Amino acid sequence: MERCTGKVALVTGASRGIGRGIAIKLASEGAHVVVNYHTHRQEAEEVASAIRAMDCQALVCQADVADRHAVSQVISETVGRFGHLDVAVANAAFSIRMPVIEYQWADFERTVEVCQFGVFHTCQLAAQQMVRQSQSGHRGGKIVIISSVMEEVCFPNSAPYTMSKAAINRLGQTMAGELAPYRINVNIVNPGWIDTPGERRYYSEQELHERGKRIPWGRMGTPEDVANAVAFLVSDDADYVTGATLRVDGGYLLGLGLT
């Protein structure tokens, strides 16, 4: 069953990893997808090709989500192309891992600009468009924030990332209450340890495989695991779900307390 037929979905950071998985999953559910990317143009075009192969439309938009004007342009291009925006998935993220006392301010600031301010730009500008649509008779919309279990538990070497994730979860909950009268759902997904290209900056394939076996579910998560959760939250099945945080981690956090 296609739960997103005819809907238009914007996915930020959609060229790789979790964003790629979400974009392709939403297309498999019938959505037309705006594939946002920052630096991986070829991979974004590959995602768009996969979407078109499913008889859905794809619009590829380059934008750094930390740049508010650029995000505004993406929203404008989306509405110009499709006439409306039904789903916004704020997924784009950035992280440089090191101890707090060793951070260069530029690296710390960049992480916050993408992971916190970028999510704010995406969510606020998408919500403004959805409110305008609702006032003209178009049905509200769905906003999903991709956060992290690191919002719940702090790990070393990730201070700006962790603080940003905590902030965007509170943003999502606040927006959920404010936007409910417009029938705009806002929910958060907290992925656990997901097998993405970014993890290979820090671990070898063997290390990822071995560490994944320590998770209660017996493996690392996949982008598809997260995408399945998002597909539910943006579907009509979740119309009465807003302000929720859905953990998708295979028991990762529970495993931290196991002996």
Verify whether residue 161 is a known catalytic residue.
yes
From the candidates 37, 103, 161, 240, give the one annotated as an active-site residue: 161
* Cβ atoms of residues 26 and 230 within 8 Å: yes
Dihedral sign for Cα atoms in the order 151, 239, 222, 125: negative
Whether the CB-CB separation of 93 and 115 falls below 8 Å is answered with yes
Q: Return the H-helix or E-strand segment holding 11.
A: strand 8-11
Distance CA 143, CA 74 (A): 16
The DSSP 8-state label assigned to residue 120 in this structure reads H
Torsion of CA 56, 59, 64, 70, to 10 degrees: -130
| Helices marked H in 180-216 | 205-212
Cβ atoms of 60 and 38 within 8 Å: the answer is no
How far is it, in rounded angstroms, from Cα 146 to Cα 84? 22
| CB-facing half-sphere around the CA of 27: CA atoms within 13 A | 26
Hey, which residues are catalytic here? 161
